[in-house]
């Protein structure tokens, strides 16, 4: 099967999932064409049966538009690639604007006597935040309903889509995020040499540092851990909230033990050395970063929001607390780190839970969906 994938190529869960899906599909013999404005950050080097088609983002010699119309350029490129490569379907990740441009590309192909199916995967903020903005509500609803098939990464997100948009003409199927266990797996030899001093507990956070991730709460929880024991916090990623997080670390006196590493193409080796993973978000549709941390044997300390409880069982394979409960998160983290037997048991349970979301179990669900769309 020939599949076109459009996603945001930048640091974030939707782009990570879309890229990992494309790579897994290619390993299974499908031909995959990524169509976006930059190579996805997890598309590292050459991969057999994987192709990248770059969408132009700059104007020529005639500066008519104040802002470059990227969505029109994307629709045109989707149409071009689908026509030239004879794609069977377009699988777009994140509703705005990708589902809209895919619908437009499909209409253009139909005008030329060609057929293509459009599958839209909803990832979270495209429904809970962006899609509910008054400027985008109608076009988001229209684009979802015009897709041939629609998926959501959690039951929570499916139900939120129905609640927010109605979408009476579409059946949203739940296909959860997955983890590549060949890359994300435990490695007891990893100890963060050169990053954390010997004897330090190893704490980690990965995100795009947006407001919804509450990165200042990450620092606040870590500060409570640091007061109780030697520890190092690795902050991976970048975004608008990073300066506030850096300032909070200085204010709380833990700046020397907080390492801001910026955006990294691969975090698996860091996760393998991590003991606790902090994710105190305001909302998470699923929490792909949490799943990858669990696969490596880290215990996730997160908020009881969105789709996270579909992955983490509080007290069994992770810790869940209400949004903003930094005191409780810090206290429970310290208690866990002080009890080696409980920590080992919870880490083992996290690994076992992550196996239920392996690529081998989830990617065939997408393949079955593609076959259904083609039929």
Domain with CATH 3.40.50.2000 in the chain: 2-177+358-374, 201-355
Residue 135 has pLDDT above 90, yes or no: no
Q: How much is the average pLDDT of 41-68?
A: 81
- pLDDT band for position 168 (cuts 50, 70, 90): low
Q: How much is the average pLDDT of 178-198?
A: 92
CATH 3.40.50.1370 fits 2-177+358-374, yes or no: no
pLDDT tens for 251-265 read 999 999 999 999 887
Sheet holding 299-303, edge to edge: 258-262, 231-236, 201-206, 276-279, 299-303, 318-321
Residues 6+ apart with CB under 8 A from 168: none
Percent of the chain clearing pLDDT 70 (strictly above): 97
pTM above 0.85, yes or no: yes
pLDDT tens for 326-352 read 999 999 999 999 999 999 999 999 999
Answer yes or no: are the C-beta atoms of 277 and 297 closer than 8 Å. Answer: no
Q: How much is the average pLDDT of 75-100?
A: 96
Residue 105 has pLDDT above 90, yes or no: yes
CA 128 to chain CA mean position, Å: 15
Residues in the chain: 375
Q: What local confidence, expressed as pLDDT, does residue 214 receive?
A: 97
Q: What local confidence, expressed as pLDDT, does residue 63 receive?
A: 66
Flag the least confident range among 59-63, 70-74, 80-84.
59-63
Q: What local confidence, expressed as pLDDT, does residue 41 receive?
A: 77
CATH 3.90.550.10 fits 201-355, yes or no: no
Helix, strand, or coil here: 3?
A: strand
Q: What local confidence, expressed as pLDDT, does residue 164 receive?
A: 86
pLDDT tens for 197-238 read 999 999 999 999 999 999 999 999 999 999 999 999 999 999
| Residue from 165, 155, 91, 18 nearest 373 by CA | 91
């Amino acid at each position: 099967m020939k599949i076109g994938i459009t996603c945001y190529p930048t640091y974030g869960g939707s782009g990570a999932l879309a890229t990992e899906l494309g790579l897994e599909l290619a390993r299974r013999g499908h031909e995959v064409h990524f169509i976006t404005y930059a190579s996805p950050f997890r598309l590292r080097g050459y991969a057999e049966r994987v192709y990248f088609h770059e969408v132009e983002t700059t104007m020529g010699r005639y500066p008519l538009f104040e802002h470059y119309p990227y969505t029109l350029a994307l629709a045109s490129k989707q149409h071009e690639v689908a026509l030239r490569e004879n794609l069977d379907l377009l699988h777009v990740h994140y509703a705005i604007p990708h589902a809209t441009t895919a619908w437009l590309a499909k209409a253009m192909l139909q005008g030329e006597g060609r057929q293509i199916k459009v599958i839209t995967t909803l990832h979270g903020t495209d429904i809970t935040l962006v899609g509910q903005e008054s400027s985008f509500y109608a076009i988001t609803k229209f684009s979802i309903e015009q897709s041939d098939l629609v998926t959501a990464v959690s039951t929570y997100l499916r139900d939120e889509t129905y609640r927010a948009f109605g979408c009476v003409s579409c059946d949203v199927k739940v296909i959860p995020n997955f983890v590549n266990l060949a890359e994300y797996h435990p490695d007891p030899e990893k100890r963060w040499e050169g990053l954390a001093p010997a004897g330090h507990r190893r704490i980690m956070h990965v995100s795009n540092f947006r407001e919804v991730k509450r990165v200042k709460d990450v620092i606040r929880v870590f500060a409570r851990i640091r007061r109780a024991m030697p520890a190092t916090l690795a902050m991976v990623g970048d975004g608008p909230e990073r300066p506030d997080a850096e300032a909070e670390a200085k204010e709380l006196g833990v700046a020397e033990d907080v390492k801001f590493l910026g955006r990294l193409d691969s975090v698996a080796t860091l996760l393998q050395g991590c003991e606790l993973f902090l994710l105190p978000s305001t909302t998470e549709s699923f929490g792909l970063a949490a799943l990858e941390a669990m696969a490596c044997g880290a215990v996730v300390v997160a908020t009881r929001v969105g789709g996270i409880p579909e992955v983490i069982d509080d007290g069994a394979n992770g810790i869940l607390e209400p949004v903003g409960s930094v005191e409780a998160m810090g206290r429970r983290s310290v208690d866990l780190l002080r009890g080696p037997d409980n920590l080992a048991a919870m880490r083992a349970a996290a690994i076992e839970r992550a196996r239920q979301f392996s690529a081998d179990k989830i990617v065939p669900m997408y393949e079955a969906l593609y076959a259904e769309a083609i039929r």
